[in-house]
């Protein structure tokens, strides 16, 4: 019932030229894939060449952040409205690196989710616990707080357009993956929280797992009942690796 979503997050990697070269290599590798959505979230500066490169293909492009105000004196920011103008359909919100290095909070993620939806963009809200929180048994409390606050005030109809990504911070870029059982447990907690907050629409909301997803561990993670796809950092930079994950 939920179409799997395989999303790449390039972070601060690849110039426009490198982005173009990636898509040239990647498109033919996945062109026959049906029944899955494929997305690459690229640096702002790569958006236009990437959107151009995936035209008429089964691949979509997204941004990694966006400001909630339409415009204004916010040096260095790009608004959701601007993303809409260049026909960027997706945006990642509240990635743990944004929370850790750029001071994003549950409150700012809530502003961003709302602004994304108001501009017709599809937000991917990221949540996840630190190693310390996991070891002290606070994982569920942390992620429940993050989605409850980050999704506050949405209607059921709006919630349908949101994707949630569970990314344990200790698994990002470290080569340590959550076991498929641990990842499934947290994703199931997230789904039941969405159910409590929004009702039956929780069955339609996609929940992704992210954190050191690689071609060899993707099949087991993606086989879990509450994991509807992956958010892939490092392994999405290589066309061959990401194509293999998409085919999992």
Q: Residue 88 in contact with residue 61, Cβ under 8 Å?
A: yes
Nearer to ligand PGA, 69 or 100 (CB): 100
* Distance between CA atoms of residues 165 and 126, nearest Å: 5
Residue 196 burial (10 A CB sphere; 0-12, 13-18, 19+): exposed
Residue 50 makes contact with ligand PGA by CB under 6 A: no
CB atoms inside a 10 Å sphere around CB 34: 5
Based on the residue annotation, tell me whether 95 is a catalytic residue of this protein.
yes
Handedness of CA 47, 53, 55, 58 (dihedral sign): negative
Residue 210 makes contact with ligand PGA by CB under 6 A: yes
Q: How far is the CB of 72 from ligand PGA (least distance, A)?
A: 28
Q: How far is the CB of 212 from ligand PGA (least distance, A)?
A: 4
Catalytic residue, chosen from 37, 67, 95, 97, is 95
Residue 231 makes contact with ligand PGA by CB under 6 A: yes
Residue 244 makes contact with ligand PGA by CB under 6 A: no
Helices and strands in the chain, H and E counts:
11, 8
Using CB under 6 A as the binding rule, the residues of this chain from 138 to 167 that contact ligand PGA are 167
According to CB under 6 A, which one of 5, 6, 9, 215 is a site residue for ligand PGA? 9
* Distance between CA atoms of residues 159 and 148, nearest Å: 12
Structure tokens at 36: 């899955």
According to CB under 6 A, which one of 139, 234, 241, 248 is a site residue for ligand PGA? 234
Catalytic annotation, residues: 95, 167
Tell me which residues touch ligand PGA (CB under 6 A). Answer: 9, 167, 172-173, 210-213, 231-235
């Amino acid at each position: 019932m939920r179409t799997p979503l395989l999303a790449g997050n390039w972070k601060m990697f690849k110039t426009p030229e490198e982005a173009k070269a990636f898509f040239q290599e990647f498109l033919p590798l996945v062109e026959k894939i049906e029944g899955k959505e494929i997305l690459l979230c690229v640096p702002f500066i790569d958006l236009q060449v990437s959107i151009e490169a995936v035209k008429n293909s089964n691949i979509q492009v997204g941004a990694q952040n966006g400001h909630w105000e339409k415009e204004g004196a916010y040096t260095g920011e790009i608004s959701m409205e601007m993303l809409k103008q260049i026909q960027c359909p997706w945006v990642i919100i509240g990635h743990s690196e944004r929370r850790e290095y750029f001071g994003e909070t549950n409150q700012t993620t809530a502003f961003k989710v709302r602004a994304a939806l108001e501009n017709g963009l599809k937000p991917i809200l990221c949540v996840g616990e630190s190693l310390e929180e996991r070891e002290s048994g606070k994982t569920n409390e942390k992620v429940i707080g993050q989605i409850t606050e980050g999704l506050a005030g949405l209607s059921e109809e709006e919630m349908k357009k949101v994707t949630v990504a569970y990314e344990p911070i200790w698994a990002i870029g470290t080569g340590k993956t959550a076991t498929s059982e641990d990842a499934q447990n947290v994703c199931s907690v997230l789904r039941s929280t969405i159910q409590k907050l929004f009702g039956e629409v929780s069955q339609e909301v996609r929940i992704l797992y992210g954190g050191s997803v690689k071609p060899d561990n993707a099949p087991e993670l993606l086989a879990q009942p509450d994991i509807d796809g992956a958010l892939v950092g490092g392994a999405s930079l290589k066309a061959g690796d990401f194509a293999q994950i998409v085919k999992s």
